[in-house]
A and B are shown apart, each in its own frame.
Chain A
């Protein structure tokens, strides 16, 4: 079956530090890959996505590249801010039985300190 593995948190960084959150996946076929962000007490927001190999998703300074050869979709940001503190979820979707269900990783909590 499909699965997503992302690095265990929590991750604590100082402001302006470089961020990497690793994500690898197992899936049949060619899934689409996503990063979602959840701020405290809120639902999930789509951060970025990539739909095919070598695609790079980017948004708000965050980037992730769909690497089929390593089945990875690592999230990076060059300089984090306090406002980036949140939980980040890697996810994939693969059409099955006519619907597109998301499979989530366990989430990585990021705390950015001034």
Chain B
């Protein structure tokens, strides 16, 4: 149980385009989902906390107009990287917390490469 999927697993896009990453909790409902970014050989950096039906809370230094987060249902959150640039290339990981718990279950990650 507690499986989280991400789609796509890898994406290559051209500079200036937008790309959407989906995060789904497959067998539980998640009131809260989190989006992280991981640079090579580094730890996870929390980008934002997403609560179903409300606006995401972004961490300091994360541009909310560039990284659009939507959490429209209890099983789906999306991260859209708008007007992507090569410096946005990274490994993006989502996690989901089953409603009423503090545990986070992580997706397998999405490798974004912007050319």
Contact between chains at A107 and B109 (CB < 8 Å): no
A99-B51, A100-B97, A101-B34 known; A43 vs B46 contact (CB < 8 Å): no
- CB of B35, distance to nearest CB on chain A (Å): 12
Binding site for A on B (CB under 8 A): 4, 6, 32, 34, 41-44, 46, 49, 51, 57, 93, 95, 97, 102-109, 111
- A58 touches B (CB below 8 Å): no
Q: How extensive is the interface on chain A, given as a class?
A: 20 to 34
> Which residues of B are found within 8 Å of A102, using beta-carbon distances?
34, 46, 95, 104
- A26 touches B (CB below 8 Å): no
| Alpha-carbon gap, A107 to B103, bound state (A) | 19
Nearest A residue (CB) for B44? A104
- A12 touches B (CB below 8 Å): no
> Which residues of A are found within 8 Å of B57, using beta-carbon distances?
97, 99
> Which residues of B are found within 8 Å of A79, using beta-carbon distances?
none
> CB-CB contacts of A80-114 with B at 8 A, as 1s and 0s?
00000000010001010101111011110100000
- A69 touches B (CB below 8 Å): no
Nearest A residue (CB) for B38? A38
> Which residues of A are found within 8 Å of B105, using beta-carbon distances?
46
> Which residues of A are found within 8 Å of B49, using beta-carbon distances?
99, 101
> CB-CB contacts of A25-58 with B at 8 A, as 1s and 0s?
0000000100010000111111001000000000
- CB of A28, distance to nearest CB on chain B (Å): 16
Contact between chains at B102 and A93 (CB < 8 Å): yes
Nearest A residue (CB) for B32? A99
> Which residues of A are found within 8 Å of B32, using beta-carbon distances?
99-100
> Which residues of B are found within 8 Å of A43, using beta-carbon distances?
4, 6, 93, 106-109
